[in-house]
Protein backbone atom coordinates (compact mmCIF):
# COMPACT_ATOMS: atom_id res chain seq x y z
CA UNK A 1 0.00 0.00 0.00
CA UNK A 2 2.87 2.38 0.64
CA UNK A 3 3.82 2.46 -3.05
CA UNK A 4 0.61 4.16 -4.12
CA UNK A 5 -1.44 1.27 -5.41
CA UNK A 6 -4.98 0.95 -4.07
CA UNK A 7 -5.23 -2.75 -3.25
CA UNK A 8 -8.90 -2.76 -2.25
CA UNK A 9 -11.17 -4.90 -4.40
CA UNK A 10 -13.41 -3.02 -6.83
CA UNK A 11 -16.54 -3.74 -4.77
CA UNK A 12 -14.82 -2.41 -1.65
CA UNK A 13 -13.70 0.87 -3.21
CA UNK A 14 -15.61 3.85 -1.96
CA UNK A 15 -17.41 6.20 -4.33
CA UNK A 16 -17.09 9.96 -4.35
CA UNK A 17 -20.32 11.16 -2.68
CA UNK A 18 -20.28 14.36 -4.75
CA UNK A 19 -20.15 12.63 -8.13
CA UNK A 20 -23.81 11.60 -8.37
CA UNK A 21 -24.53 12.40 -12.01
CA UNK A 22 -28.26 11.88 -11.50
CA UNK A 23 -28.61 15.23 -9.72
CA UNK A 24 -27.39 17.16 -12.78
CA UNK A 25 -29.55 17.72 -15.83
CA UNK A 26 -28.01 18.41 -19.23
CA UNK A 27 -26.97 21.22 -19.68
CA UNK A 28 -25.99 22.59 -16.27
CA UNK A 29 -23.64 25.49 -15.61
CA UNK A 30 -21.77 25.91 -12.34
CA UNK A 31 -22.33 29.52 -11.21
CA UNK A 32 -19.13 29.50 -9.17
CA UNK A 33 -16.52 28.35 -11.70
CA UNK A 34 -18.38 28.34 -15.03
CA UNK A 35 -17.97 24.63 -15.85
CA UNK A 36 -20.57 23.03 -18.09
CA UNK A 37 -22.18 19.64 -17.43
CA UNK A 38 -22.92 18.27 -20.90
CA UNK A 39 -23.28 14.70 -22.17
CA UNK A 40 -22.67 13.31 -18.66
CA UNK A 41 -19.36 15.08 -18.00
CA UNK A 42 -18.04 18.37 -16.70
CA UNK A 43 -16.07 20.44 -19.20
CA UNK A 44 -14.66 23.95 -19.55
CA UNK A 45 -15.80 25.11 -23.00
CA UNK A 46 -16.98 28.69 -23.49
CA UNK A 47 -17.51 28.12 -27.20
CA UNK A 48 -19.91 25.22 -26.58
CA UNK A 49 -21.79 27.24 -23.96
CA UNK A 50 -22.24 30.02 -26.52
CA UNK A 51 -23.40 27.53 -29.19
CA UNK A 52 -25.94 26.01 -26.79
CA UNK A 53 -27.21 29.51 -25.90
CA UNK A 54 -27.63 30.34 -29.58
CA UNK A 55 -29.59 27.09 -30.04
CA UNK A 56 -31.92 28.23 -27.25
CA UNK A 57 -30.83 25.73 -24.61
CA UNK A 58 -32.18 26.34 -21.11
CA UNK A 59 -29.35 25.96 -18.62
CA UNK A 60 -29.75 24.54 -15.16
CA UNK A 61 -27.69 26.33 -12.53
CA UNK A 62 -26.01 24.17 -9.90
CA UNK A 63 -22.55 24.04 -8.32
CA UNK A 64 -20.24 21.40 -9.81
CA UNK A 65 -18.88 18.66 -7.52
CA UNK A 66 -15.52 20.46 -7.09
CA UNK A 67 -17.15 23.73 -6.01
CA UNK A 68 -19.46 21.84 -3.64
CA UNK A 69 -16.47 20.10 -2.04
CA UNK A 70 -14.68 23.43 -1.65
CA UNK A 71 -17.76 25.06 -0.07
CA UNK A 72 -18.29 22.05 2.24
CA UNK A 73 -14.55 21.78 3.03
CA UNK A 74 -14.59 18.11 1.97
CA UNK A 75 -11.17 17.18 0.53
CA UNK A 76 -10.61 13.78 -1.04
CA UNK A 77 -6.83 14.18 -1.04
CA UNK A 78 -4.40 15.49 1.54
CA UNK A 79 -0.71 15.96 0.79
CA UNK A 80 1.90 16.76 3.43
CA UNK A 81 5.56 17.34 2.68
CA UNK A 82 7.94 17.53 5.65
CA UNK A 83 11.39 17.95 4.14
CA UNK A 84 14.43 20.16 4.48
CA UNK A 85 14.32 21.12 0.80
CA UNK A 86 11.02 22.96 1.29
CA UNK A 87 13.00 25.88 2.78
CA UNK A 88 15.42 26.21 -0.11
CA UNK A 89 13.27 25.09 -3.06
CA UNK A 90 9.97 26.78 -2.21
CA UNK A 91 9.53 28.64 -5.53
CA UNK A 92 10.52 25.59 -7.58
CA UNK A 93 8.04 23.45 -5.66
CA UNK A 94 5.26 26.04 -6.16
CA UNK A 95 5.98 26.10 -9.91
CA UNK A 96 5.96 22.30 -10.07
CA UNK A 97 2.61 22.16 -8.25
CA UNK A 98 1.17 24.83 -10.57
CA UNK A 99 2.31 22.88 -13.64
CA UNK A 100 0.88 19.58 -12.38
CA UNK A 101 -2.45 21.23 -11.55
CA UNK A 102 -2.66 22.87 -15.00
CA UNK A 103 -2.09 19.54 -16.77
CA UNK A 104 -4.50 17.61 -14.56
CA UNK A 105 -7.20 20.29 -14.70
CA UNK A 106 -7.15 20.13 -18.51
CA UNK A 107 -7.69 16.38 -18.25
CA UNK A 108 -10.36 16.70 -15.56
CA UNK A 109 -11.59 20.20 -14.64
CA UNK A 110 -12.95 18.89 -11.31
CA UNK A 111 -9.39 18.36 -10.02
CA UNK A 112 -8.46 21.41 -7.96
CA UNK A 113 -6.46 22.53 -4.98
CA UNK A 114 -8.77 23.54 -2.15
CA UNK A 115 -6.17 24.73 0.33
CA UNK A 116 -2.39 25.14 0.22
CA UNK A 117 -0.12 26.21 3.08
CA UNK A 118 3.66 26.59 2.95
CA UNK A 119 5.45 26.77 6.31
CA UNK A 120 9.20 26.94 6.91
CA UNK A 121 9.86 23.28 6.10
CA UNK A 122 6.36 21.90 5.51
CA UNK A 123 3.74 21.94 2.77
CA UNK A 124 0.07 21.09 3.37
CA UNK A 125 -2.33 20.73 0.44
CA UNK A 126 -5.97 19.64 0.25
CA UNK A 127 -7.43 18.65 -3.14
CA UNK A 128 -10.87 17.87 -4.52
CA UNK A 129 -9.73 14.47 -5.83
CA UNK A 130 -7.47 11.76 -4.50
CA UNK A 131 -5.76 11.51 -7.88
CA UNK A 132 -4.48 15.10 -7.79
CA UNK A 133 -2.87 14.73 -4.35
CA UNK A 134 -1.19 11.54 -5.46
CA UNK A 135 0.02 13.10 -8.73
CA UNK A 136 1.45 16.18 -6.99
CA UNK A 137 3.13 14.04 -4.35
CA UNK A 138 4.71 11.73 -6.91
CA UNK A 139 5.94 14.73 -8.92
CA UNK A 140 7.53 16.35 -5.85
CA UNK A 141 9.18 13.08 -4.87
CA UNK A 142 10.53 12.57 -8.39
CA UNK A 143 11.93 16.10 -8.58
CA UNK A 144 13.25 16.54 -5.03
CA UNK A 145 13.43 13.08 -3.44
CA UNK A 146 12.17 11.83 -0.12
CA UNK A 147 10.16 8.95 1.23
CA UNK A 148 6.65 8.74 -0.23
CA UNK A 149 3.86 7.10 1.74
CA UNK A 150 0.33 6.86 0.38
CA UNK A 151 -2.51 5.79 2.67
CA UNK A 152 -6.07 5.06 1.59
CA UNK A 153 -8.90 5.50 4.09
CA UNK A 154 -11.09 2.46 4.66
CA UNK A 155 -14.11 4.53 5.78
CA UNK A 156 -14.25 7.31 3.22
CA UNK A 157 -12.85 8.09 -0.20
CA UNK A 158 -9.78 9.90 1.10
CA UNK A 159 -6.10 9.55 0.31
CA UNK A 160 -3.22 10.85 2.43
CA UNK A 161 0.09 11.42 0.71
CA UNK A 162 3.12 12.06 2.91
CA UNK A 163 6.67 12.88 1.83
CA UNK A 164 9.44 13.03 4.40
CA UNK A 165 13.17 13.58 4.09
Given CATH 3.40.390, say whether it is the number of domain 74-164: no
Q: Give pLDDT, residue 58.
A: 93
Residue 14 confidence (pLDDT) above 80: no
pTM of the model: 0.85
The neighbouring-strand residues paired with 36 are 29, 43
CA 163 to chain centre: 18
Tell me phi and psi for residue 107, to 5 degrees.
-70, -45
Q: Give pLDDT, residue 165.
A: 86
Return the higher-pLDDT residue of 61 and 20.
61
107-150: per-residue pLDDT in tens? 999 999 999 999 888 999 999 999 999 999 999 999 999 999 99
Mean pLDDT of 149-154: 86
58-114: per-residue pLDDT in tens? 999 999 999 999 999 999 999 999 998 999 999 999 999 999 999 999 999 999 999
- Size of the chain in residues: 165
Mean pLDDT of 29-33: 95
Please name which of 121, 119, 135 lies closest in space to residue 79, comparing C-alpha atoms.
135
Residue 17 binned pLDDT confidence (cut-offs 50, 70, 90): confident
**CA distance readout (Å), 125 to 33, 45, 89, 150:** 20, 27, 17, 14
Domains of the chain, by residue range, sit at 19-65, 74-164
Residue 156 binned pLDDT confidence (cut-offs 50, 70, 90): confident
Tell me phi and psi for residue 164, to 5 degrees.
-130, 150
Amino acid sequence: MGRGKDTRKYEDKLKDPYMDRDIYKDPTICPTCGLLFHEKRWIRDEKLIQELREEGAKFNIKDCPACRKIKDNYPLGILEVNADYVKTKKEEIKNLIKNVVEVEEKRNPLERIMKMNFDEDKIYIETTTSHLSKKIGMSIKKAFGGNLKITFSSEQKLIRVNITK
